[in-house]
Amino acid sequence: MLSVADNELLTRTGRGTPMGELYRRFWFPALLSRELPERGGPPVKVQLLGEKLVAFRGKEGKVGLMDARCPHRHANLFWGRNEEDGIRCVYHGWKFAMDGQCLEMPAEPPDSTFKNRVRVVAYDTHEAGGIIWAYLGPKDVKPEFPQFEWTLLPDDHSYASKRLQRCNWFQNVEGELDTAHVQFLHRDFNPGNRENLKHMLAGGHPEYSISETPVGMLAIARRSMPEAHYYWRITPFLMPAFTLVPTGPDERNFFTAAVPIDDENMWGFTVSWRHDRPFDDEDWDNALSGKSLHVNVDPKTFLPLANAENDFLIDREMQRTTNYTGIVGVRVQDLPVQEDQGGPICQRNEEHLGTTDRAIVAARRLMLRTAKQLAAGTEPEQPRNHEAFRMRSVAYLAPESEPWQDLFTRYQPEGAPIAALGSTSA
C-alpha cells in the first residue's frame, strides 16, 4: 500500500505539483491528427494536466497549442478566428502567433508598442504517427522527440485512437502493467485462436521480476509450461505513462498512453502498428471493430459508447456462457474496473497487494522517486534517452534454457539501443 501523502503525490499532475512537473518533462499525446484535419481550419478545445488549452492548424500545416485564455480579459480563444499562422480573439481582435507573441491589438493606438510586451502561454508540438504530441515543460530542458517505432514507419502501418476515461491516469497505467488480470478479466470461455490466453491459463500464476531501463522499466512475467518451457510476457513501461502490450513477434504491436485531463479524468491513447508491412483487412477490423484495444467512441466527445451510464452494456447471460465479464471488447472490459475503484482516485493506503502486483509497486516507486528527485533539483534522465523509446514488448513461449534477456533482445527493432538493461529484481 501507499501512504496517503504518496498517493497524493502520485496522482496529482497540476502545474507546480511534483508529479505534474515530472510529467511535463516528457513529450506526450495531446490529440489525434484527424481532430485538426484542415489547414487554417477551426480550433479545438484541449485539456491536459488540468490546463485548458486551444489547438489549431496553421496554413503551412503546423499545429499551435496555447492557453485558452486571451491575456487581455481571458475570453476563450476557442471562439477565435484562425487567421494565417495565428489565432485572433473575437472579443477585441488581439491576434497571437503560434509561439504566443501578440501580433496585433487593433483597438490600441497605431503607435502603441503594448503588443510587444504581451504573450499568451504557448507550447511546442510535434506531429507523428497520427498523433499531435505536446511538450509542456521548461524550454531549456526540452528533450528530443522520442523515437517510438511506429512514428518512424509509413502512415499505412499504424492506427491511433483515443477515448475519454473517467478516472485518474495512474489507475490505467497500473492496469496496463498487471498481466495477471488478463486470464480473468479478458477470458473467453472459448478462446479460439487466442494463443496468449491459452498459455496463461495453462501456465497458472506468473512469477514477476523487474528490470529498469534508460526510459522506465520492464515488467517481466514468467509462467512455467509443460515440456520444460516458459511463457514470457514482458511489458515495457515507458515513462511517464506509456506501456507496450505484450504481443508475439508476428502479431500487431500495441502502445498505450494515459494522459491526465485533470486529476479525475484522462485521455487514453492507443496505437496499433505493424513494423514489417501495411495494415491489411484483418488489422483494420481489429482496429475499428471495438472488440480489441481500440474503443468505439462518440466522435465529438470521445466518450466510449459503452460507458458507466449504460453499465458498459454488460450482458449477464453472456457473462454466464461466453466470457468472464459479459462485456464486449478487451479495452471496454478494462473501463469499469479502472473507473470504479472506490472513486476516480483509488485510496491506495487501504489496498491489500499480492505477489502479482510487483510491477505496479515497482512503477509507483520509480515514478515517486523520480518526481521527488526533480522536486529536489535533479532533472530526470529518461526524457533525454529519446532513442531508447524505440522498443517492442514480448509474449513468447521459449525453452527454459533461454534467458529472458536474449529473448527480449532478439525481438527488438533493428538497431534499437537495448544494451543498457538494468539489473533484475524480484
Residue pLDDT, tens place only, 249-308: 889 999 999 999 999 999 999 999 999 999 999 999 999 999 999 999 999 999 999 999
Both 193 and 86 in one domain: the answer is no
**Element at 6 (helix H, strand E):** helix 4-11
- Give the integer Cα–Cα distance in Å for 284 and 294: 11
| 141, 163, 197 - which closes a domain | 141
Sign of the C-alpha dihedral computed for residues 198, 203, 204 and 206 taken in this order: negative
Residue 1 confidence (pLDDT):
78
Residues of the chain where predicted confidence (pLDDT) is lower than 70:
191-204, 419-426
The answer on 251 and 159 residing in a single domain is yes
325 and 189 part of one domain = yes
Does one domain contain both 158 and 291?
A: yes
- Rounded distance, CA 6 to CA 171, Å? 15
Looking at the fold, whether 154 and 68 belong to one and the same domain comes out as no
Q: Kindly report whether the global pTM for this prediction surpasses the value 0.75.
A: yes
Domain boundary among 125, 141, 157: 141
**Which of 111, 141, 171 represents a domain boundary (last residue)?**
141
Amino acid, single-letter form, for residue 4: V
- Domain co-membership, 132 together with 264: no
CA dist 78 → 44, 215, 299 (Å): 6, 35, 19
All cell numbers assigned to 103: 501580433
pLDDT at 419: 53
- Give the per-residue pLDDT at 181: 85
**Judgement on whether residues 161 and 298 belong to the same structural domain of the protein:** yes
Q: Which domain holds residue 261?
A: 149-425
* One domain, residues 127 and 269: no
85 & 191 share domain: no
Do residues 181 and 65 share a domain? Answer: no
The number of folded domains in the chain is 2
